[in-house]
Amino acid sequence: MADSVYKVIELVGTSAESWEKAASTAVERAAQTLRDLRVAEVVELDMVLDDGKITMYRAKVKVSFKFEGS
């Protein structure tokens, strides 16, 4: 196996339903424009509140993909 390099980016996915859906949203959107996704790591979870009620779940996700630079 040849040596490889991977790039890691940080994304924030959101969902009105759950943290799981927020993380999925981030990965699914990244997969639309990036090739060869390898690993996704949830690094932080938080919520947006309005008048004491949860209005949005947010998941900060680190995604890695194979680097194909010149």
pLDDT at 16: 97
How many domains would you assign to the chain? 1
pLDDT at 70: 62
Segment holding 55, helix H or strand E: strand 53-66
Rounded to whole angstroms, how far apart are CA atoms 40 and 22?
Answer: 13
Q: What is the CATH number of the domain that holds 27?
A: 3.30.1660.10
pTM of the model: 0.85
**Domain around 15:** 6-66
Rounded mean pLDDT, 7-29: 97
pLDDT at 2: 72
Q: Is the residue at 1 inside a domain?
A: no
The band of 31, judged by pLDDT with boundaries at 50, 70 and 90, is very high
